[in-house]
Structure 1
Amino acid sequence: MSDNDLDLSFAGAEDRGRWRHRERKGGRGRTFLALILVLVLFGGLGGVAYVGYGKVKGFFTAEDYSGPGTGEAVIEVKPGHTATDIANTLYKAGVVKSAAAFVNAAEDNPKSSGIQVGSYLLRKQMKASDALAMLLDLKNKNVNRVTIPEGLISLQIYDRLSKATGIPVNDFKKAAKDPQKLGVPALWFKRTDGKKVDKTNIEGFLYPATYEFSKNDTATDILEDIIAHFNDEMEKLDFVNQANTKLHISPYEALVAGSIAQVEALLPEDMGPVARVLYNRAYTGNFPCTCLQLDSTVNYWLRITGKSAKSSEKLLVTELHDPKNPYNYDVKGMAVGPISSPGEVALKGAITAPKSDYYFFVTVDKKGAMAYGKTNDDHEANIKIACKNGIPIC
């Protein structure tokens, strides 16, 4: 008996969680052949043989339920699963009467290759072809779908996750207290500028994307999935290596710059140039205070301490220079931590920031375009342009 007869594996299962079927061989004959093999294997075991056959017959015969099923059963289709793997999962969960019935149904339906990885809510005691149809219908995915836009802070993300899953915000706050335990590599908690990194701070690591979480997931499970996606994206960008070798700063500092650029720049083409201004202010020694002097960092502190962010013209001098605020105007060097969750464009901008002699930037029109300056006089001239264009910074 060949592997094709019993396993019916599906090629390409690792590719995006999908699987393709092989040509069907032998029809019902293979089921009979498998049954004979089982009887031969257990023939000398007396009563044990009958019990053993009873336990495995669901994997070798094509018995099928006739009805639509009852109750509920949660089924997990994992990356790399073959049709046989899925069939066995369904059989063990009491969804189908036999694994063979589902494999046969999959072979007979050319759409079966469209089953996606994920958790599904099916019924028990279903006809195999109906179970297949439910797996092909994404409406039956047993998931909570959540979109995390670029630029949100952790508190906003917890709120979105809570509303989508029903899990209390405090559960996410508690789970987030140990980012390394959730999967953030230790290398992210080091800096080259001598500043200490708060190892309990998850800000910046909650990668913006659309996620599907199983309805059985806990707050920890969900944050682990988001961190895993962050790690994958950082690897694709070669972020750690680029920060170390091209910028000569720690990946964490580049992440901080990306999080600020995400908030400050409104257009994709400005992410890199804004990041370069941050590097010029923090590291070159040519900016008078060697500090960032940004409203966005001050506003971040206001938000995480339970206050509302303010527009630039409404921020008080006492708020800008508050010594209790570690993100205030006067802190030297790069900010102590990320102020948002940056997306791909901002992160690319942070590690590919074009070299310039600019130390100032300002939004100058309602489309979000930035103007840059080398001196404070340049900056004041750009502010006048912004005011003429109706930008409320005057």
Structure 2
Amino acid sequence: MEGSIDELRDDEHLLFASPDGAPHVPGARKRSQRHQGRRRAHRFAPFVAIILILGLIGVSYKIVTSVSKRFATPDYSGSGQGFTQVKVSPGDGASDVAAAMVRAGVVKSSRAFITAAEDSGRASDIQAGVYRVPLRASGKAAMAAILDPANRLVSEVTIPEGYTEKQVLTLLASKTGLPIAELRAAAGRISNLGLPEGLSPKTAEGFLYPSTYEFDPGQTADQVVQQLAAQFGTEYRKLGFAAAAKAQRLTPYQALIIASLIESEAKFAEDRPKVARVILNRMAKGTPIGIDAANRYGVALTGKDPNSVTYAENSPYNVRTHPGLPPTPVSNPGEASLRAAIQPAAGNWLYYVVADAAGHHIFTADEKAWSAAVAKCKANGWGC
């Protein structure tokens, strides 16, 4: 129909007219609102993303922290408080030391010490011994303490050459704090000394090698005495003592007795091989060796002052009246005297006597020359 509503354009239809009379486009309002919503969403999107990222970071931090705490090495902090002792045995590695540290209450965990040892690069520098270390210390502080030589607890004892067994044991008792009775008992257990094969003496005299030793706290009397005897064994083998003694037609024990006499008589290195030769020459002739050190030792064994010797004692140590060697060494000789006993000088000497105030000796095969030298020695008070 002409003029019908159906012939009107959409924008002329009253149903689609805007309130202000402007033509209304169907769907236009909805599209505008959608565009505005999208613009607002675009503006808030970065903020939402940031919030999400921060949330993820927070959650991740909590997870990492929890895991770290769960798997972190338990360790104390600082240098510790108070002190204790830790023993490192020969052959112990960082893990062994770490276990000892944990047992002693030094470090909180084995891993704390092992890590510190690895980080220091000095794990192989750890030495055997007993150490003073701090309690409840960090692994790093514990490692530093075990590497400091000042923290090693030792009793250092120097045994002079020529000391008798009695003198050696008395010195050991004073330096280590071990009872003298325990040390004497240990020295008397000859089978426990670990002496070289072929030596089965009745006393430890001659086998307590003179040197400087370090003893850890807690060492027993047996361990201390064995350490000296072990050093003797080392020197004995190094010198080839047994074979060299045999070359001189001596048993190793006879050569050791001669070495002890040399040690007690000679003060200077050049005199030692000559004293050995005098002893051997007199033995070869069947003449008493007449060395006063043996006589004095025999008197001391009876508990008397060795200065009270009369040289008339009925004793196997009275080598003025008894031919041959005394039954045991009379001191503990060092390397120079051991070497002299198996490498005697060449000569026909039968006598020697102190020739000056310093203690040098003269050697002679002439009895009259010797008698004159003895008179001169006594006149000058040179200790003949």
Where on the TM-score scale, by shorter chain, does this alignment land: which range?
0.7 to 0.9
- Please list every run of 5 or more consecutive structure 1 residues that lacks an aligned counterpart in the other structure: 1-56, 190-198
Check 1:68–1:225 CA distance in 2 against 1; reply closer, same or farther (3 A cut).
Answer: same
Check 1:61–1:366 CA distance in 2 against 1; reply closer, same or farther (3 A cut).
Answer: farther
AA of the residue aligned to 2:158: T
The alpha-carbon deviation at position 254 of structure 1 amounts to 0.7
Look up the SS of the partner of 1:145 in the other structure. strand
- Give yes or no for the alignment of 1:294 onto 2:291: yes
- Give yes or no for the alignment of 1:251 onto 2:252: yes
Look up the SS of the partner of 1:281 in the other structure. helix
The alpha-carbon deviation at position 329 of structure 1 amounts to 1.9
Q: Distance in 2 between matches of 1:178 and 1:327?
A: 27
> Which residue of the partner structure matches residue 140 of structure 2?
129
- Assess if the C-alpha contact under 8 Å between 1:61 and 1:98 holds in 2: no
> Which residue of the partner structure matches residue 206 of structure 1?
208
> Which residue of the partner structure matches residue 263 of structure 1?
264
> Which residue of the partner structure matches residue 334 of structure 1?
325
- Give yes or no for the alignment of 1:309 onto 2:306: yes
- Assess if the C-alpha contact under 8 Å between 1:61 and 1:100 holds in 2: no
Kindly report which structure 2 residues correspond to 1:46-195, keeping only aligned pairs within 5 A, or say none.
62-70=73-81, 72-109=83-120, 114-189=125-200
> Which residue of the partner structure matches residue 39 of structure 1?
none
Q: Distance in 1 between matches of 2:238 and 2:73?
A: 45
Check 1:324–1:389 CA distance in 2 against 1; reply closer, same or farther (3 A cut).
Answer: closer
AA of the residue aligned to 1:270: D
Normalised to the residue count of structure 1, the TM-score between the two structures is: 0.73
- Taking only aligned residues, the RMSD between alpha carbons, in angstroms, comes to 2.5
Which structure is larger by alpha-carbon Rg, 1 or 2?
2
AA of the residue aligned to 2:188: K
- Give yes or no for the alignment of 1:344 onto 2:344: no
The alpha-carbon deviation at position 86 of structure 1 amounts to 2.9
The alpha-carbon deviation at position 92 of structure 1 amounts to 4.3
Q: Distance in 1 between matches of 2:191 and 2:175?
A: 25
Check 1:293–1:231 CA distance in 2 against 1; reply closer, same or farther (3 A cut).
Answer: same
The alpha-carbon deviation at position 150 of structure 1 amounts to 0.7
The alpha-carbon deviation at position 138 of structure 1 amounts to 2.5
- Assess if the C-alpha contact under 8 Å between 1:153 and 1:341 holds in 2: yes
Q: Percent identity between the aligned chains?
A: 34
AA of the residue aligned to 2:220: T
The alpha-carbon deviation at position 243 of structure 1 amounts to 1.2
- Assess if the C-alpha contact under 8 Å between 1:243 and 1:254 holds in 2: yes
AA of the residue aligned to 2:187: A
AA of the residue aligned to 1:115: I
Check 1:215–1:327 CA distance in 2 against 1; reply closer, same or farther (3 A cut).
Answer: farther
- Assess if the C-alpha contact under 8 Å between 2:282 and 2:289 holds in 1: yes
Look up the SS of the partner of 2:359 in the other structure. coil
AA of the residue aligned to 1:122: V
Look up the SS of the partner of 2:296 in the other structure. helix
Of 124-133 and 268-277, the range deviating more from structure 2: 124-133
Normalised to the residue count of structure 2, the TM-score between the two structures is: 0.75
- Please list every run of 5 or more consecutive structure 2 residues that lacks an aligned counterpart in the other structure: 1-69
The alpha-carbon deviation at position 387 of structure 1 amounts to 4.6
- Give yes or no for the alignment of 1:280 onto 2:281: yes
Show CA shifts across 1:244-287 (max 9, x none): 2x2121111111111110110011221221112112222x1x25
The alpha-carbon deviation at position 389 of structure 1 amounts to 5.1
Q: Distance in 2 between matches of 1:327 and 1:100?
A: 67
Look up the SS of the partner of 1:74 in the other structure. strand
Check 1:185–1:376 CA distance in 2 against 1; reply closer, same or farther (3 A cut).
Answer: same
Show CA shifts across 1:188-231 (max 9, x none): 12xxxxxxxxx431111101111111211121121111111111
Show CA shifts across 1:100-129 (max 9, x none): 332332344366654332222324332222
Q: Distance in 2 between matches of 1:392 and 1:293?
A: 16
> Which residue of the partner structure matches residue 367 of structure 2?
376
Q: Distance in 1 between matches of 2:123 and 2:359?
A: 47
Q: Distance in 2 between matches of 1:355 and 1:270?
A: 12
Look up the SS of the partner of 1:345 in the other structure. helix
